[in-house]
Chain A
Amino acid sequence: QKEVEQDPGPLSVPEGAIVSLNCTYSNSAFQYFMWYRQYSRKGPELLMYTYSSGNKEDGRFTAQVDKSSKYISLFIRDSQPSDSATYLCAMSAPNSGGSNYKLTFGKGTLLTVNP
């Protein structure tokens, strides 16, 4: 079983729709959970991060973590064409020495929001 699983899509929605993006993971040591957004021909950029289980909201974006189910989600409300991008989940766990953290990415979900 891969450490982080993410449906690659593609996902196509009309403007204004609510979008749900998800990742599952198997490593219980993951402590921090992040979502990166990558526009075409650009590098990824951090969108949101969470530490504990529960929800975190930032404008139209909500990140949700359920550690008991090893499941994280990103919700986008009132989606806009400018939200069209690849969304990558990422998770970090301490390395074996505990001195630093290793970041593991999902493969990304390609989202298109149609006007």
Chain B
Amino acid sequence: DVKVTQSSRYLVKRTGEKVFLECVQDMDHENMFWYRQDPGLGLRLIYFSYDVKMKEKGDIPEGYSVSREKKERFSLILESASTNQTSMYLCASSFWTGGIGELFFGEGSRLTVL
């Protein structure tokens, strides 16, 4: 079974802290994604990556950066956390054949910024 593992299920950080969210997948997928999920707003794409060291902005990249040094690992970085970044963060990976969007998601990291 494909497994996408997010390093932390629950985090509590203070405003201004630097936050790292780590994601590892074990199926050799080229594509990896970071989403945030908020009530009433649904899933919103932050950043994605189609290859190692490659990244592209999604719909809401402001306040975030990413790193993909190895194929299996995709990290989301909040340089200076703010309260409006309190959210559920979901990492996903896919082999993306011909447009069928079968994303495999991790269980999520719930971040609270105080």
**Residues of A in contact with B (beta carbons under 8 Å apart):** 8, 31-32, 34, 36, 41-46, 49, 51, 88, 90, 92-94, 100-101, 103, 105-108
Contact with A along B56-100 (1 / 0, CB 8 A): 000000000000000000000000000000000010100010011
Q: Are A8 and B107 in contact (CB under 8 A)?
A: no
Contact with A along B10-45 (1 / 0, CB 8 A): 000000000000000000000000000000111101
Q: Are B99 and A32 in contact (CB under 8 A)?
A: yes
The residue on B at minimum CB distance from A4 is B42
Q: Are A107 and B107 in contact (CB under 8 A)?
A: no
Q: Are B41 and A107 in contact (CB under 8 A)?
A: yes
For the complex of A and B, the 7 pairs showing the least CB-CB separation, nearest first, are A43-B105, A107-B42, A103-B101, A101-B99, A105-B43, A92-B101, A32-B99
Partner of A101, one of B101, B104, B106: B101
Partner of B101, one of A32, A43, A107: A32
Q: Are B107 and A41 in contact (CB under 8 A)?
A: yes
Chain A min CB distance to B35 (Å): 8
Q: Are A44 and B50 in contact (CB under 8 A)?
A: no
Q: Are B43 and A42 in contact (CB under 8 A)?
A: no
Q: Are A43 and B96 in contact (CB under 8 A)?
A: no
